[in-house]
Structure 1
């Protein structure tokens, strides 16, 4: 599994005639006139709600960045729409509680078989839609302090730099991403590190990544809070249940007709919840980027943004390696997974070989399309521009060579397990 060699090519631009020099592994384009800068790669159809949330993030991304750069900053916790979102989420939870109370009343009222059935149905619905307390993930490696003291020491140092405390556990998966969340009834903190992203970052960019994620605990991102996030889960579950049935019989047509109004109502509440919490969430992302720059330096935070722009390319490379392992047959697949760490060498070599003109193309395409990490993030090119518009920061937390080596050793078992999973085709989106 070796990284593809650089394949330099030269040709005149069909539009302006300027000479184009590039790597034929990537899209050839003209920096002078933007010919072929965005060849129009098809985008997956992610659904109406997902498209609405992305559109909100793009619009609010521009508005909030302009406000922050203009000095009109409002903390997410004092944002009126965010407070309204919390009130709406509590209303959703009140509806779930009403199911539970109604179910208990039907059973206690003793109204025969009909009351018994109605009570049981209401209690089942209340149980299905009740807020869930997450536990530690069981489908990926999880590290606790005793198993990774140096990694947790780095996380603690970064946490102090951004004004918060560290985490209780670190999960490692195969996504080209990272995140923070909570688990357990006591709301313990969990950091999720996507190993493909971690591997291609420099030590300075890793500190920027940790700074950004840990800053969310201090910034009060409403959408990641327990109240709003669980309400959104309840609404998404309702929306899924109310999807139209295949219309092959009169009864299904009748049920679909009944579903129309509730489905539109639930979809409308979901969009409203996203609209109310979007601005505060977008602001929290920009604030997290700012704290990441103060922690690791502006240069490292901007470098992290560039790596996020090539997340799609890294995902495609991982799929290519998984397909190659599958084509070699079962015996070869077992041999490949025995040397799973080779995957990281291939991925890092590939990332290092991506030329600057491809990064620049991705920046221009991102500005055209509004590239986003997901529906909760503002467009990446705006995040990058926001970092560059601020006073350039120097690092308050710097990598240490010895610690970097020790952290690599602590992550070794997890990175091998994740690599084996990726080679089996289990790719995290």
Structure 2
């Protein structure tokens, strides 16, 4: 149940229809879509961004049509995936060739001038090397002994997703959640944003875990070890060859001219990888959404999606809390046992008070923007439509009050640390 705070009624200036107004949110008209997306940018995207949007739109709508027609979105290795791996291996081969060339120059010219190009090539190869992410060092990390009930829930959701669980859970200050593989042994990390986790209900939390764990083994080649690291290498190449903006000297102009062709080549390879992996990436999102529905139920997965639409409102609330804590000063801090006490409860109350018409506005605004915000993710309205095709799916993973209390107790210390950090350092999410 959602409360309604300070809501009034007024006529739409465009069509005269009655519209509900909440002073905390954008005023808009559901009848004619007046002011539905006042922040929409009219600026045209660059060539690469525009190509990505066009490709994402075509593939996203095609995937949606397949689902509507009763098709399947099962992960598979198609020709595009094979070609993407081939391109990625060529990119890594170039890095290996640079390293081999550097070693050859250093060995051949040991102690002489030939060592200079050798050291340069080795340094360049080192910057382009495939790198495995590391565990974050600035957030609370939970292992199985620290949170057995939470890990048991993650394991149960993972089994439902046909994969294994995670090795570490990082608790951070993002209104988000994600999974990643770290280290040379391919261990798994789940990042849980306390602002999101605390404001969700038990079913929505299971749907969230289902979505994130559903990303493993779903055919998303773009974020795999081979293609993902090739993307990072190409991005580094693109940075090296990017022209100096507004060159003022003849030397800068000559360097820009010399880098023009290599920059175009790197950009072309990036666009090719986009073309080859985009379908698998969007398919991966639809598959992850389906796993969210399977684990937590279709209703919970749709509610989770609607919750994420108003992430900006959560960010605004947390920034307001930060400002209030700083304005209060040391005297206000001394009056309370902990200045972070009640932060998550206040955030949860605010999120519960967001009216349904604000979420509807966000859905319509997303439909107007299409793929302009994130080209690798299908728009929310298409993902929502996929979830609502066919009869609702019941939850496969259960949770009771006792299990919920144990998980809450296991997260108590971490949630307190994150709250204090937000109030001390500010909220950047």
SS at 2:352 equivalent: helix
Shift of 1:337: 10
Q: Alpha-carbon deviation of 1:124?
A: 0.6
For 1:216 and 1:393, the matched residues in 2 are separated by 19
Contact 1:76 1:284 in 2 (8 A): yes
Give the number of the structure whose residues are more often helix, by fraction: 1
- Cα distance, 1:338 vs. partner? 3.1
Say whether the 8 Å CA contact 1:37–1:361 is kept in structure 2.
Answer: yes
Structure 2 residue aligned with 1:7: 6
Shift of 1:135: 2.1
Matches within 5 A, 1:17-166: 17-42=16-41, 49=48, 52-73=51-72, 75-110=74-109, 113-166=112-165
Alignment of 1:276 with 2:263, yes or no, is: no
Shift in Å at residue 335 of structure 1?
Answer: 7.9
Q: 1:155 touches 1:166 (CA, 8 Å); kept in 2?
A: yes
Answer with 149-158 or 401-410: which moved more: 401-410
CA distance in 2, matches of 1:23, 1:82: 48
**In the aligned structure 2, how far is the partner of 1:373 from the partner of 1:241?**
26
**Contact between 1:159 and 1:165, CA under 8 Å: does it hold in 2?**
yes
- Within the alignment, does 1:342 sit opposite 2:332 as a pair? no
Q: What's the secondary structure of 1:113's corresponding residue? A: coil
Q: Residue deviations 1:1-54, cap 9 Å, x none?
A: xxx981111111222222222312111222222222222355999976556545
CA contact (8 A) 1:76 1:82 kept: no
> What is the DSSP-based 3-state SS (H/G/I as helix, E as strand, rest coil) of the residue aligned with 1:91?
helix
Cα gap change, 1:331/1:99 in structure 2, threshold over 3 Å: closer, same or farther?
farther
Q: Which residue of 2 aligns with 1:210?
A: 209
Q: Distance in 1 between matches of 2:180 and 2:159?
A: 18
Please report how far the alpha carbon of residue 308 of structure 1 lies from its aligned counterpart in structure 2 after TM superposition.
1.3
Number of aligned pairs?
426
* Displacement of 1:274: 1.8
Task: Tell me how far 1:136 sits from its aligned partner.
Answer: 1.4
Post-superposition offset of 1:392: 1.1
Q: Is the 8 A contact 1:372 1:378 kept in 2?
A: no
* Contact 2:95/2:129, CA 8 A, preserved across alignment: yes
Q: 1:160 to 1:67 in 2, by over 3 A?
A: same
Please say which of residues 117-126 and 26-35 is displaced more in the overlay: 26-35
TM-score, normalised with respect to structure 1: 0.92
Aligned to 1:302, what secondary structure does the other structure show?
Answer: helix
Structure 1 residues 372, 152: CA separation in 2 closer, same or farther (over 3 Å shift)?
A: farther
Alpha-carbon shift at residue 239 of structure 1 (Å): 1.6
Shift of 1:294: 1.4
Question: 5+ residue gaps in structure 1?
Answer: none
Query: Partner of 1:76: helix, strand, or coil?
Result: coil
SS at match of 2:175: coil
Q: Which moved more, 1:317-326 or 1:410-419?
A: 317-326
Q: Deviations over 1:275-331 (max 9, x none)?
A: 211100110110111121111111001001101111122222222322333444577
State the distance in 2 between where 1:373 and 1:49 align: 14
1:343-373 CA-to-partner distances (Å, cap 9, x unmatched) read: 2122111100001111111111111113788
1:108, distance to aligned residue in structure 2 (A)? 2.1
Query: Which runs of 5 or more residues in structure 2 are unaligned?
Result: none
Q: Deviations over 1:207-265 (max 9, x none)?
A: 00101111111313111211111111111112222232352322222212212221222
9-18 vs 48-57, which moves further: 48-57
| 1:72-100 deviations in Å (ceiling 9; x for gaps) | 43543322212211111111111100100
3-state DSSP of counterpart to 2:115 = helix
Q: Is the 8 A contact 2:289 2:383 kept in 1?
A: yes
| Secondary structure of residue in 2 paired with 1:73 | coil
The answer to whether the 8 Å contact 2:156/2:397 transfers is yes
